Structure 1
Amino acid sequence: MNFLFDPVKFDGQTMLWSHAVKSEAAYPGFYHWHQCMELLYVHEGEGSVIVNQHTYEMRPGMLFLFQPFQLHKIFANVSKDTPYKRTIAFFDPSVFAESLTHFPLRHSLFMKLWQGRSTGPAFDLTQEIQQVEDGFSNYDEISKQGRGQEQEEVTLLLLELMGRIHKANGRVQHQEAIETDGRALRYSEKIMHWIEMHYAEEVSLDQLAEWLHLSKFYVSRVFHEETGSHITDYLTARRIKQASRLLQSTTQSIEQVGIAVGYPNVSYFIHMFKKVVDVTPLKYRQRHVAALK
């Protein structure tokens, strides 16, 4: 299994930028989070993006902004005929928040995207594809000239994006209202919502299949088809994500944390945590405490 916590190493830079990266091989993705914000813009490709028990369609013109420590997964259906081409950027929002304060509307939106729960993470910019593409190309040229790390240039890029998102946000909210009324949840979304309610318990595929009134075989297959991963992968990701939060924010013992996230056997909890995060729960907590100091 890939590591859930995928730390981004800035090494003195303010923005890590990868423009128009193309993949033509299988791209199943994996559940993970970063300590910073991540921007994903889709130039080409199709698939799905999974965030907070919701599945969003991935297609050209879609922009995704993931908050720090937000669990997400990108699943792209990739082939030579349908490549996956995207622009990715990583940045620490605290570095740029102050520089946006002179633009109240855009600053307010930026803060909601960074810290809020009701805005984002998906924005449909298909009606302004050319302008968005030009904006990214311009910044890429600036980066190649060695000015991409300058506060002014990154701020200008963020201001432009906030403007595009603000313009598109009304359309997105309207579309979501329509979908809420007319679109049934995908099976994968129902499964993730069920796991959200039960991940701290002893979970069995039999229980889940019975709740959905489907066979175990079909439940496993449809989840894999819609997300590109297995149910056990998502369950583990959700449990370890919560365990990481408890290790950072509480003084509960390692055993208590394991029980709270569905691992009553402390040895097995330590084994799974180390397998996913690459360190033991104790070392993870010690590193977090050291970082705060």
Structure 2
Amino acid sequence: MRIPIVKNFFNDPLLPLEIVYKDRKPPNQELPDHLHDRYELVYVYGGKGTFFLNQMIYEMNEGDIFIIPGNTIHRALPDGDCPITSTAVFFAPQMIGHHALSDTFTNMFIFERARKLKRYKLASPLSLRPFIEETLQQMQQELERREAGFRYAIHLHLNSLLLSLNRLTLQESYQHPADGGVGPTWLLHMLQHLDQCHTDPAVGLSYLAKQASVSAAHLSRVFKQLTGMNITDYVNAKRISTAKELLMATDLGIDIIAYNCGYESLPYFHHLFKKFTGVTPGAYRRRQIN
């Protein structure tokens, strides 16, 4: 079984942020399916491809921004003849500005909205793209030059960018395009169903093929082609993602969390959790508390 990659980040406690700037990769060099605790923004300059994100498969177009909350399974699948050029910004949530005094607004809104509505793609208008691209360039330059106050400058640029994206989504005049996921309808419905039932121990290839009314072989082939993952890997990734949330948000015992996520064997749960995250469930919980 191939486990989605655990992405490692350079650990600067004063600046928990990294940028992959104007990257252009052919399909064989694209990062495999992965999930991580950092929040992520991906801006597309051009090219062709698709983006598998949680339960949706999106087309990637010029000016698209992908809003990726932490702990969300995702993978870009660039076109072989015309690969995507994009910038990805990875950052810890504590970098995002919070509300002050009686103002209830927070720059976290755009990520909370994406997670709640399961809409992760934002099509930026032409008028906003120069600002987005200039801000990303300034952040990259600050990281490269590392002049006095560069960390503070990057904080300001990041929050300014997020503020603009939040305001865009809140404008009454902004028409969010229909997501219209890529792929056959039966597959998109199956992904939506799986998002709700992935912790059921009965969920597996045969179960999902029956739900989609297709053969197991056909489901495996199409799912792999459009997402870059196989069904078993994806189900386990969803379950471990849920386990991480329960470890952070509840005081439930690890054995109860394993059972609630569809694992009757606690040793197997420990084995999978460490493969996905690099640490044991107990160590992960302690790390979040500390």
Q: Is the 8 A contact 2:4 2:233 kept in 1?
A: no
Give the TM-score normalised by the residue count of structure 2: 0.79
In the TM superposition, what is the alpha-carbon distance from 1:30 to its structure 2 partner? Answer: 0.8
1:74 maps to 2:75: yes
Deviation of the 1:184 alpha carbon: 9.3
- Structure 1: gaps spanning 5 or more residues: none
Cα pair distance change 1:83/1:126, threshold 3 Å? farther
Q: State whether structure 2 residue 58 is matched by structure 1 residue 56.
A: yes
Which runs of 5 or more structure 2 residues have no equivalent in the other structure? none
Partner Cα distance (1:188, 1:169) in 2 = 31
Q: Could you say which residue in structure 2 is the equivalent of 1:46?
A: 48
Contact 2:57/2:183 (<8 A) preserved: no
Structure 1: distance between partners of 2:267 and 2:141: 52
Match of residue 266 from structure 2: 266
Residues 70-121 of structure 1: per-residue CA shift (max 9 Å, x gap): x121222243x322322121223333415x759x7xx836231244434853
Quote the residue 1:127 is aligned against: 126
Encode CA deviations 1:170-218: one digit per residue, 9 max, x unaligned. 57644238x59xx997443322222233322222323222222222222
Q: Corresponding residue for 2:286?
A: 289
Classify the secondary structure of the residue corresponding to 1:155: helix
Describe the shift of the 1:245–1:141 C-alpha distance in structure 2 as closer, same or farther (beyond 3 A): closer
Q: 1:113 aligns with which of 105, 110, 114?
A: 110
Structure 2 counterpart of 1:155, one-letter code: L
- The equivalent residue for 2:33 is 30
Q: Determine which structure has the larger helix proportion and give its number.
A: 1
More displaced, 135-144 or 258-267? 135-144
Amino acid aligned to 2:146: G
Q: 2:32 corresponds to which letter in structure 1?
A: G
Whether the aligned pair in 2 keeps the contact of 1:38 and 1:91 (CA below 8 Å) is yes
Letter in 2 for 1:58: M
Amino acid at match of 2:145: Q
- Would the aligned equivalents of 1:54 and 1:189 in 2 still touch at CA under 8 Å? yes
Q: Give the secondary-structure state (helix, strand or coil) at the position aligned to 1:39.
A: strand
| AA matched with 2:157 | L
Q: How many residues align?
A: 280
Pick closer, same or farther for the CA change 1:164–1:221 going to 2, 3 Å: same
Q: Which amino acid aligns with 2:11?
A: F
1:192 and 1:58, CA in 2 relative to 1: closer, same or farther beyond 3 A?
A: same
What is the match of residue 163 of structure 2? 162
- Shift in CA distance, 73/249, structure 1 to aligned 2, threshold 3 Å: same
Higher mean C-alpha deviation, range 236-245 or range 258-267: 258-267
Does 122-131 or 219-228 show the bigger shift? 122-131
Root mean square deviation of aligned Cα: 3.3
Secondary structure of 1:59 counterpart: coil
SS at match of 1:150: helix
Indicate if the aligned counterparts of 1:63 and 1:125 stay in contact, CA closer than 8 A.
yes
Identity of aligned residues (%): 21
Cα–Cα, structure 1 residues 119 and 267, in superposed 2: closer, same or farther, change >3 Å? Answer: closer
Which aligned pairs between 1:1-293 and structure 2 lie closer than 5 A? 1-2=2-3, 6=7, 8-14=9-15, 15-26=17-28, 27=30, 29-34=32-37, 36-69=38-71, 71-79=72-80, 81-98=81-98, 108=105, 110-116=107-113, 117-118=116-117, 121-125=120-124, 127-128=126-127, 129-147=129-147, 149-164=150-165, 166-167=167-168, 173-176=175-178, 186-199=185-198, 200-280=200-280, 284-289=281-286, 291-293=288-290
Distance 1:185-1:110 versus aligned 2 partners, 3 A rule: farther
